[in-house]
Amino acid sequence: MRLAALTLLTGLVLVAAAAAAPKPIPGIRSPSGAIKCLYIPRFGATGRPELLCMVSRAAYAARLQKSCSRGKAGLDWHGFELPTAGKATVVCSGGVLYDPSTQRPTYALLRYGRTWQHGAYTCVPRVTGITCTNSAKHGLFVSRLSYRIF
């Protein structure tokens, strides 16, 4: 009887732990690790998917940070977001752009010349940077030296 109760209790604890574990959300990282793009299933007030691309040690970071904080105390430059159908924009935010209590980013290495596709998005890294597009053919190119929204 005790063994059965212990087995049942262990099973309930495992089920509760699995239910509480954050769900992985897919992303990619460049071979250098400087660029990361993350697919966020439901983003912001629209609740629509977004692709969020972040660049570490970008040459233009100070300029974008300055434009983010101009008149908007507490906002930081976080990168770029690409909606499923519209044009990309610069992301200014006061915090994390996903829910860490329910979501956990997972970044797969995307080697140069390979293609990553997820939902409406396609990303291709090159030595010069990563280009990502959506199903409407809008997109962005990001590198440490420059960025371009198209």
Q: Are 150 and 86 in contact (CB under 8 A)?
A: no
More confident residue, 6 or 140: 140
Of how many residues is the chain composed? 150
How big is the CA angle at 135 (ends 121 and 143), to the nearest 5 degrees? 45
pLDDT at 7: 38
Stated as kind and residue range, the H or E segment containing 62 is helix 61-69
Residue 66: pLDDT over 60: yes
pLDDT at 46: 65
More confident residue, 6 or 144: 144
CA distance 1 to 19: 27
In the β-sheet with 89-93, what is the strand arrangement from edge to edge? 89-93, 76-83, 48-55, 35-43, 23-29, 103-109
**Adjacent-strand bridge partners of 27:** 38, 107
pLDDT at 19: 58
CA distance 120 to 110: 18
Instruction: Kindly report, residue by residue over 2-44, the tens digit of the pLDDT.
Output: 434 333 334 433 344 445 789 999 999 999 999 999 999 876 6
Domain boundaries, the chain: 22-149
Q: Are 53 and 140 in contact (CB under 8 A)?
A: yes
pLDDT at 1: 46
Instruction: Kindly report, residue by residue over 41-58, the tens digit of the pLDDT.
Output: 876 666 789 999 999 999
